[in-house]
Amino acid sequence: CPEERHHIRERSLSVVNIFLDEMAKEAKNIITTICDEQCTMSDKLLPKHCAQTITHLANRKKKDKNKKNPIEIVKPGAESYRKTREELTTMDKLHMALTELCFAINYCSTVNVWEYTFAPREYLHQHLETRFSKALVGMVMFNQDTSEIAKPSELLVSVRAYMNVLQTVENYVHIDITRVFNNCLLQQTQNMDSHGEKSIASLYTQWYSEILLRRVSAGSICFSMNQKAFVSLSAEGAIPFNAEEYSDINELRALAELIGPYGMKLLSETLMWHIASQVQELKKLVVQNKEVLQMLRTNFDKPEIMREQFKKLQQVDNVLQRMTIIGVILSFRQIAQESLLDVLERRIPFLISSIKDFQQQLPSG
C-alpha cells in the first residue's frame, strides 16, 4: 500500500548497503590475512636472519655424527613445496575464498535499487584504502614508552610485500589499486593523514629529532663523516639500540623512499625549528655576558685582561653544549638530504639533471 512505500524503500536501501559492505569487509579481511602472511615471509628473507642459519650449520658440524634426528631450521620457501595436489594449505583456501568474493563483487558494476545506484567495487576500494592506511602506520611499530621503532629498511620491505599482494587484487576485480597507493602513500608524507592520525613521516620525524639526536647530544653516540652515520661509542647493549642501524645512509635512503620529498621536508623543517630554538637560547646567553664580551673584544691584544675577563664569563659549558647540539642536527640534516638526493636521482634522473643544469646556468649559482 502507499503508506508502506517509504518504509519499504528505506529498508531495501539499508539491506543492500549492509550486504555490499559486508561482502567488501570479508574480502578486505581475507586480503589483510594474505598480506600479513606475505609480510612475515618477506621478513624471513631479511639479512638479519642469516646469522641463525650460519650458527646452526656451524654447530651441526661440531656435534657427534652418531646423534640422530638433529633439529632442522625451516628455510624460507619451504611452504611452496607440495606433497599432493589434494592437500590445500591455509593460503590456498584464502585465495579460493577471495576469488569467489571478488567474482561476486565484480559481477555487476552497478546495482540499481529504487532511484539509487550502488557500486560494489567502490565499497571494496574504500575498505582497502582505509585498511592500507592503518597497516602502514601499524608496521612502523612506534612505542612511545620504550622509544622503539621499526628500521626504515625493514618497514620498506614490509610495505612492498603488502603492495605486491594488493596489486594481485586487480586480477580478481576491476578496481584501481594505483589510486589506493597514491592516496594512502601521499597522506603518509604529511604530518597527519585524512583521519587526523599520525603518519609515517610524523612518527619518524618525532623519533629522529626527539629520541636519536637527544641521545647523540648525551655523548654515547657520535657522527662519523667516513661512515656517513651516527655511531654508538658505548659497548653493545649499553644503550637500547645501535645508532648506526637507524642512521646510516641505507636506512635514510629507505626513509626517503617511504616518506618522499614532502616527508623529508617535514623532517628538515622540524630540525631547523630545533636549531632556531637553540639559537634563541644562545642569544640569551650572549645578552647575559654582554659586558664581559665587549671587554674581551676591546682587549683581545692584552692577555692578562683577557684571562681575567674570561673567568667572568657565565655558563660557558652551556654554550658549548648548545653549539654541539646545533652541529649534530646540521650533520644529520646533511646526510638526510644526501639520501633524498640519491633516491631522487634513481627515481627521476632526467628531472634532477634538468634542475641541476638550470641551477648551474643561473648567474647567482
| Backbone conformation region of residue 121, classed left if phi is above 0, alpha if psi is from -120 to 50, else beta | alpha
Q: What is the mean pLDDT of the chain?
A: 87
- List Cβ neighbours of 190 (8 Å cut-off, separation of 6 or more): 199, 201, 202, 262, 263, 266
pLDDT in tens, 295-309: 888 888 888 888 888
Can you tell me the distance from the alpha carbon of 16 to that of 23, in angstroms, rounded to the nearest whole number? Answer: 11
Q: Which of 18, 36, 173, 178 is nearest to 101 (CA)?
A: 173
d(CA 155, CA 148): 13
Inter-CA distances, 354 with 348, 350, 357, 365, Å: 10, 6, 5, 14
Residue 71, pLDDT above cutoff 90: no
Q: Would you place residue 52 in the very low, low, confident or very high pLDDT band (cuts 50, 70, 90)?
A: confident
Mean pLDDT of all residues in 151-165: 93
**pLDDT attached to residue 66:** 52
pLDDT beyond 90 at 144: no
| CA distance linking residue 121 with residue 102, whole number of Å | 9
Provide the grid cell at 1: 500500500
Mean pLDDT along residues 182-204: 90
Does the pLDDT at position 11 exceed 80? Answer: yes
Integer CA distances (angstroms), 325 to 204, 275, 321, 354, in order: 19, 8, 6, 36
Label residue 239 exposed, middle or buried (CB < 10 Å: 0-12, 13-18, 19+).
Answer: middle
Neighbour count for residue 69 (Cβ, 10 Å): 5
